């Protein structure tokens, strides 16, 4: 298998792949031609690589928009990676290309889309619905029945109460407490979280 994106985020995914999936990463694709390896894995220029050699791939890019662009451009077999310390309900659904970090929790009847990140210590409670390319940052918590639109990011340590709907491409600031629905493209911060601006 291969990874795409030689970043700090990639280091965590390498650890998950090695320790929890017990798979061998043959190489990491990146456009940075100066770096040669990451955690003893060779960094490879994607443009000159024989794509037919890729049996499985995970995109290791934290930026949601960039991750979407790459996933749409590279047609291959994407797999999910779940750390062995994460707690995932057998009644939850996890999309292809999604990564779930150490100590994260995804509870019953929740649905996680494709190419999402559920980061270290994050909690996704029962019946939540996360669309594709969502990032739930470390120690963020979504109560039950929360819906999160495509490409949105829930900042580190943020809290979202039950039943809330978060639009697409929303940014929720670190430590924010969300008690109202959030429209598309909003940037919200604070306790309680308030809309500060829109990105579109």
Q: Are residues 159 and 85 in the same domain?
A: yes
Point out the domain boundary residue: 73, 93, 110: 73
Q: How big is the chain, counted in residues?
A: 200
Asked whether residue 56 is assigned to any structural domain, the reply reads yes
User: What is the pLDDT, as a whole number, of residue 32?
Assistant: 79
11 to 24, 155, 160, 173, 200: CA distances (angstroms): 14, 20, 28, 24, 32
Q: Are residues 118 and 156 in the same domain?
A: yes
Asked whether residue 199 is assigned to any structural domain, the reply reads no
- Residue pLDDT, tens place only, 11-41: 999 999 999 998 999 999 998 778 899 999 9
pTM of the entire structure?
0.96
CATH number at residue 20: 3.40.50.20
| Contacts of 19 by beta carbon, 8 Å cutoff, 6+ apart | 83, 84
Strands ordered across the beta sheet of 27-29: 37-38, 41-44, 27-29, 2-4, 57-59
- Residue 126 annotated among the catalytic residues of the structure: yes
Asked whether residue 164 is assigned to any structural domain, the reply reads yes
| Contacts of 18 by beta carbon, 8 Å cutoff, 6+ apart | 24, 25
Asked whether residue 133 is assigned to any structural domain, the reply reads yes
Query: Which pLDDT tens digits describe the chain residue by residue (200 residues)?
Result: 999 999 999 999 999 999 999 899 999 999 877 889 999 999 999 988 888 899 999 999 999 999 999 999 999 999 999 999 999 999 999 999 999 999 999 999 999 999 999 999 999 999 999 999 999 999 999 999 999 999 999 999 999 999 999 999 999 999 999 999 999 999 999 999 999 999 99
Both tokens assigned to 49: 């690589």
Q: Are residues 64 and 98 in the same domain?
A: no
Q: Which residues form the domain of 85?
A: 81-189
Distance CA 16, CA 100 (A): 9
Q: Tell me which residue has tokens 């490409």.
A: 151
Q: Are residues 21 and 104 in the same domain?
A: no
Point out the catalytic residue in the list 9, 83, 115, 126: 126
User: What is the pLDDT, as a whole number, of residue 33?
Assistant: 75
Asked whether residue 194 is assigned to any structural domain, the reply reads no
């Amino acid at each position: 298998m291969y990874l795409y994106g030689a970043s700090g985020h990639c280091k965590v995914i390498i650890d998950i792949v090695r320790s929890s999936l017990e798979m061998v990463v043959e190489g990491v694709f990146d456009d940075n031609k100066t770096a040669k390896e990451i955690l003893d894995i060779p960094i490879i220029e994607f443009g000159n690589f024989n794509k037919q050699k890729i049996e499985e791939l995970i995109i290791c890019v934290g930026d949601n928009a960039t991750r979407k662009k790459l996933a749409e451009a590279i047609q291959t077999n994407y797999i999910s990676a779940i750390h062995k310390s994460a707690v995932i309900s057998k009644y939850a659904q996890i999309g292809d290309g999604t990564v779930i970090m150490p100590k994260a929790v995804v509870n019953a009847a929740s649905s996680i889309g494709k190419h999402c990140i559920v980061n270290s210590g994050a909690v996704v409670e029962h019946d939540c619905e996360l669309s594709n390319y969502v990032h739930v940052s470390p120690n963020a918590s979504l109560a039950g029945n929360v819906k999160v639109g495509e490409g949105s990011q829930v900042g580190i340590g943020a809290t979202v109460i039950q039943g809330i709907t978060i639009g697409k491409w929303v940014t929720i600031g670190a430590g924010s407490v969300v008690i109202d629905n959030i429209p598309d493209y909003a940037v919200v911060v604070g306790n309680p979280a308030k809309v500060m601006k829109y990105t579109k």
